[in-house]
Amino acid sequence: MPSKKKGGPDTIASLRSVVPSIFDAAQRSATGHRKHAVALHTLQTQCHDVDAEELTGEDAFNKEFIRNLNKVLGIKKREPSADKVVKLVATFVQVSHELDMQAVAKAKQADDDVFSADTDVDTVSSRFVELLIKYLLQGFQAKEKLTRMRCCQIVAMSVTSLGEIDEQLYFDLIRKLTERIRDKEASIRVHAAIALSKLQSGEDEDGGQVTEALLGLLQHDPSAEVRRAVLLNIEKNPSTLPFVLERARDVDPTNRKCLFLKVMPPIDYHLLSIEDRERLLAAGVNDRDINVKRACVRMVGESWLTFAEENLLELTSSLDVVDSPVASKVLQALFTSYPEIPENLQFDNDTWDSLTPEMIFIIRSILEYYYERKDADQIDKHLPEVMKLAQLLESFGSKLENEENEELRPDFEFVIHQLLLIAKMSDFPDELGRRQMLTLMRKMILVPEIPENNIEAITDIIRKLSINEQDFIRIMVEVVSDVREMPSIVDSSVEQDAATEALLISMKSLMIIKYILQRCFDTLSEGSSMYGLLTECVVPAVQSSELVLQDYGIECLALCCLLDKNLAIDNLALFVQAALEGKNELRTKGLSALLDLAFMYGISDLATSVGSASDFVGILYEEFANGDEKTQAMVGEGLARLLYAHRIPEPAKVLEELLVLYYHPSTSSNYALRQCLTYFFPAFSYMAHDNQAVMQQVTVSTICRLGGVLKQQTGDAQNGATQGQAAQQIVAWSDPRILEAISAMNSGSSGSRSTVRMGGYTQLGIDTLKRVFKAAPATRKVLVQTLNKLALDESSPMTQLQQLFVLTRALTQQELITDMVTRNALARFEASLLKLLDIEKAEDVNLESWLEEPEMASVFEFVASLDGEGEHDEADGANSSDEDAGDLEADSDLDSPVRPAQSLLLGGLTVGSAMPVPMSLRSRSPLKRAREERIEELTREIDELLDSDDEDNDDDGNSYMSAEE
């Protein structure tokens, strides 16, 4: 520690020991950084006093400081000792600036005229800061990324304490930082963005350029850490706030969480428009990450409620509760996180007599909160009597009927709807209140202009007031009859007005019938009153020429079919026609009806109306080819549900189609479909062993089909999965080890793999190897690399492991695989098989004993059949390969046949007779073996000639050499 006495020559001489000791102490602990910074400043002042005119002592200090600083500039990121030294440098700059400001303040107090005109004073600290910044700016262009990162880090930590610096240096600093925010290293861009955000200024001419550069990073930088750095440090003003709010939809959950926890709480929500508040809250409460959702609720409960002066009514008034789709979720989440809020609220008679949309919304939200938790005491505490509710409904109904101001009518309709939702939560213990409420509901549903959501709420209330389902149906059938018999309110002489009124009455009747059917569960019979509504209202609507009536009619008919299986079978052709030939909503409802009925009764029972189960599924396949993205997503989700519920007789074919569709380039922009299938495939595969067996069954064929499908990727679709990536994912869904682990985790026991379950997984490897012999070159490479992903173990059946080895050995000795990577992959797989078979090397395999095993006959027969196919291909010639390649692109279901020269198999693996082939011949290919046999035959002939005529030795020798060549 340097002394505070005036410096001398000894001070400069001690720099080599004092400065390194301070740096060494600083990197050991971060607690004494300010003390070390003060010591450095004292030493700097003493060095300056040695030669105040020539500044030789000051230069010596600067050189020693830079020398020690250089030692940490090349140290890797997140190294604690280096980070502490960087913090020491930033603290030193900060302390120097603070001491300079204190000196200026003291000088002003001593003499008011001193520095009164100019506060830009040249001091030891200011000269050091300029020297340091200029030196670090040189490091911005360094070749080593660590040096660039450390220089940007020091500048970012020191920039707020720079004080007054040269104007040219200031603009150089901005220019160099702007260059570094485009650095290829994300860590450098982070520190450059932090430093640049601290140099924003609305008064400077470059202030707009700096903000624009930071907004570009915030929107488009691929690194989540860089976007987070800008999000936390950029100046929040009306021009940047819209871009900040966009981070509520950031792909990184940490960034979304930071927005709600750190960025938005200090900002008064009154500065945001109602639309911005709605979008922000919708993104937060609907976020799939629970931590982001909690951060959003915390922002509302701790920040927004504080700005609203702890007044929930004022906070709710800042939201458009009448049309808001998210306000209810926000209050429910707020009450869940802060249960003391609903507990402390009380509603007296004055509150009920002076209801506003915001107040009734709060009351309904609180009652719904307690209703979901079945807290009867709190519900009874806040819920008014049934008679009071009926009076309020009548009162607001009269106000709505007499209100002429169209701007106020939505508020009255909203209050009535909230009161109906409150009435649904009542148990109606008072018999007099029950009767009055039932009479009022029947009266309200007859109102000509009643909204559809109120019809649904009234239907729920009547269902709750009814004794049983038959009583409910009886009451609602009477209501429908009353609606259809309502007196006309238009001039009957005007034909167009009368037709419009009749159309509206029919629509209202069908709405009521729809809500009745949605709340019925008893089987529909011909003698029931609902059957009468079917024939009088639903069937005529289906046959109507009005599209809107057709839509409602198809929907009601589908609901009727869900209650009667025979009715569903009889009308299935009608739903098929609506799905294939309908327009817009009619087509969607026809598809929805087909999928719902298939889920209820199964495809096998319904398929008789359209032919077979394959025909029924084929109708759904047509929608994949001809439908829009919304229709594709609906059909994909429906088929996934049917597979999951085991409602499809041949699940393998449908599963394969869904897999191909999932990876198909044409669905790359259909996010709804892909999100559904992303959840479905692992859920289906890991639910049961039978499901996973289906996945294993279609794995190989799906991978081969994808070889042709993924060749069509162009443009943006190139970012999709490759054939190899798709293969790895499908094999993972077929892995029984994952299923066992999930089952063990759910049951709390240790999972064990059985031989039977691993048998299906091993069979997948056998099917893969068999397909390799016939697959296209690109697909062959993927299939071979997939073999090593199977991760077979000792629980695999021994016979299947032997079959795998026979096929692998046959493939190894062919010329099918030409690239070294694939050959090495196949060699690794063969080595793993030898290890599982407990055999040291391939030559030790006893194929004679395997030939006698009945279970091995199929694999040897397969190899023999390939040998015959190879001879046939060889006769056809090699010119067919181009045509085969074209066929592969035209039809992804087919693979290119094996080239003729590649189809001849290992003689030792071909079962041509009952006697096993000698091991000496099994190690060579048929072509090579035939050549060697011919050489041996010629050799024997030459030997005979040599024995008979010694004079022809030379000629025989030449013949021998010629034969050998």
**Could you report the per-residue pLDDT of 311-367, keeping only the tens digit for each?**
999 999 998 899 888 999 999 999 999 999 999 988 888 889 889 999 999 999 999
Tell me what pLDDT residue 963 has. Answer: 32
What span, in angstroms and rounded, lies between the C-alpha atoms of 698 and 684? Answer: 14
Are the C-beta atoms of 47 and 58 separated by less than 8 Å? yes
List all residues 6 or more positions away from 652 whose beta carbon is below 8 Å from its beta carbon.
694, 697, 698
Tell me what pLDDT residue 490 has. Answer: 63
Q: Is 582 helix (H, G, I), strand (E, B) or coil?
A: coil
Under-50 pLDDT residues of the chain: 1, 3-5, 114-119, 202-203, 715-717, 870-927, 950-965
Tell me what pLDDT residue 941 has. Answer: 67
Q: Is 838 exposed, middle or buried (0-12, 13-18, 19+ CB in 10 A)?
A: exposed
For the chain, what is the largest distance between any 2 Cα atoms, rounded to a whole number of angstroms? 137
Tokens of 670: 């259909």
Tokens of 136: 């670090």
Among 521, 523, 604, 543, smallest CA distance to 569 is for 604
Tell me what pLDDT residue 466 has. Answer: 92
Residue 434 to residues 425, 426, 442, 516: CA-CA distances in angstroms? 13, 10, 12, 20
What span, in angstroms and rounded, lies between the C-alpha atoms of 154 and 85? Answer: 10
Q: What is the dihedral of CA 520, 522, 523, 526, to 10 degrees?
A: -80
Tokens of 806: 């026979």
Tell me what pLDDT residue 625 has. Answer: 77
Tokens of 540: 């005529």
Among 562, 592, 563, smallest CA distance to 575 is for 592
- What count of Cα atoms within 13 Å lies in the side-chain half-sphere of residue 323? 4
Residue 914 φ/ψ, nearest 5 degrees = -75, -25
What span, in angstroms and rounded, lies between the C-alpha atoms of 675 and 679? Answer: 7
List all residues 6 or more positions away from 478 whose beta carbon is below 8 Å from its beta carbon.
none
Tell me what pLDDT residue 946 has. Answer: 55
Which pTM was predicted?
Answer: 0.77
**What is the dihedral sign for C-alpha 348, 351, 353, 358?**
negative
| Number of CB atoms found within 10 A of residue 688's CB | 13
List all residues 6 or more positions away from 379 whose beta carbon is below 8 Å from its beta carbon.
367, 370, 371, 425
Tokens of 111: 């003499």
Are the C-beta atoms of 291 and 253 separated by less than 8 Å? yes
DSSP annotation of 23 reads H
What span, in angstroms and rounded, lies between the C-alpha atoms of 444 and 442? Answer: 6
Q: Is 686 helix (H, G, I), strand (E, B) or coil?
A: coil
Which ranges of 181-309 would DSSP assign to H, the alpha helix?
186-197, 207-220, 224-233, 241-245, 253-258, 274-285, 290-298, 305-307
- What count of Cα atoms within 13 Å lies in the side-chain half-sphere of residue 376? 1
Residue 313 to residues 331, 382, 418, 650, 932: CA-CA distances in angstroms? 11, 17, 16, 58, 98
What span, in angstroms and rounded, lies between the C-alpha atoms of 460 and 516? Answer: 9
Tell me what pLDDT residue 121 has. Answer: 62
Q: List the Cα angle 276/277/279 in 5-degree steps.
A: 65
**Single-letter amino acid, residue 499:** A
- What count of Cα atoms within 13 Å lies in the side-chain half-sphere of residue 445? 31
Tell me what pLDDT residue 458 has. Answer: 96
What span, in angstroms and rounded, lies between the C-alpha atoms of 247 and 235? Answer: 15
What span, in angstroms and rounded, lies between the C-alpha atoms of 531 and 508? Answer: 18
